[in-house]
Amino acid sequence: MRTRSVVTTESDSRTALTRVLVVDDLEGNRQLIRRLLPASEFFVDATGDPEEALAIAVSAPPDVILMDIRMPQRNGFDLCRQLKGSETTRLIPIILVTANRQSQDRLRAIEAGADEFIAKPLNPVELRARLRALSRVKRYTDELDNAEQVIVSLALTIEARDEYTDGHCQRLARYATAMGEALHMSDAELRALQRGGYLHDVGKIAIPDAILTKPGPLTPSEMEVMKSHPVVGERLCGQLRTLAAVRPIVRHHHERRDGSGYPDGLGGDEIPLLAEIIGLVDVFDALTSARPYRAALSLEATAQALREEVARGWRRREFVELLLDLAYRSGWCSGADATIADTT
């Protein structure tokens, strides 16, 4: 059922073309759209099978998806909703095509997350103009995504400077999103927790190795340098709009509920909720991981240490108990030898 347009250019040159995935059960419609989109500007992939469209969107993401609403196996609204609900395909712009201009269809298209809605008969000039506009949006978001990837790579590079923090970012992202899911947080909040897990310590790029990897307690002046990392990190993320929800996490993940944390000494509910979660799982992972000066703590010893922090007024009791419950049930404990209860 799937057919590709005949493109005689080399695959490398396709990167300059706008890649369009056409999803329509009628071969005649697919051919018509191909005729409307010149091969000099568009690379058209076409399928009549909604399941295949999903597979293509993941394996070879197009710049824009042009999708018919009425299809026998599955309607376009459902398919659009699924693509927009998936982390890997949600940024691909989607145009829904319908046989009429009924406002009910328009409303359903918006609810399904479609970026545009056009009615048949297709106006070739309008179709090409909309595809161009949406592909520009897609390339812009791709660039932002790439910029974010650079910052994530930077964060992982910082992690690699210290052999004792290997895998720390991945674990934090996993623990924090599990807590967010248990707290029924929104998809946007879960994404922020995931990114926050990776980026919370990105400001450590400014901390010299002699301090960052020092095998033992820091002096007061070294501690002051170390405490600058949330502010530096926030500044690094500051230029990217896609990281707006992550900035408060980066800045405030070392605050404590009694106001004794840093950099701003926020107390209680002044601390952004997502930063509080990342701050908690950060401490949990530090306790359950080996350090140059001590072995990893057991879950029991970790639970005791975190409950002491609750008693001191540093942490929210419900969050600590939720985290411990998840940790016991999921077997979270990174340390290879998690038996020695040594908090020094």
Shortest Cβ 192–Fe ion spacing (Å): 16
Asked if 276 interacts with Fe ion (CB under 5 A), we say no
Rg (CA), the chain: 25
CB burial string 75-112: b at 16+ within 10 A, e below = bbbebbbbbbeeeebebbbbbbbbeeeeeebeebbeeb
Q: What are phi and psi of 71, to 5 degrees?
A: -135, 145
Shortest Cβ 285–Fe ion spacing (Å): 11
Nearer CB in complex with Fe ion: 191/204: 204
Using a 10 angstrom Cβ sphere, with 0-12 exposed, 13-18 middle and 19 or more buried, the burial of residue 10 is exposed
Shortest Cβ 215–Fe ion spacing (Å): 18
Q: What are phi and psi of 162, to 5 degrees?
A: -120, 110
Shortest Cβ 165–Fe ion spacing (Å): 10
Which residue, chain included where needed, has tokens 């029924």? 184
Instruction: Tell me the β-bridge partners of 118.
Output: 97
State the residue number with the nearest CB to Fe ion. Answer: 201
Shortest Cβ 277–Fe ion spacing (Å): 14
Binding map of Fe ion across residues 176-215, x = CB under 5 A, - = no contact: -------------------------x--------------
Nearer CB in complex with Fe ion: 115/201: 201
Nearer CB in complex with Fe ion: 56/280: 280
Interactions with Fe ion, residue window 71-90 (CB under 5 A): none
Copy the structure tokens of residue 27.
Answer: 């071969």
Pick from 261, 157, 135, 245: nearest CA to 201: 157
Nearer CB in complex with Fe ion: 191/229: 229
Asked if 24 interacts with Fe ion (CB under 5 A), we say no
Nearer CB in complex with Fe ion: 30/229: 229
Contact residues: Fe ion, CB under 5 A: 201
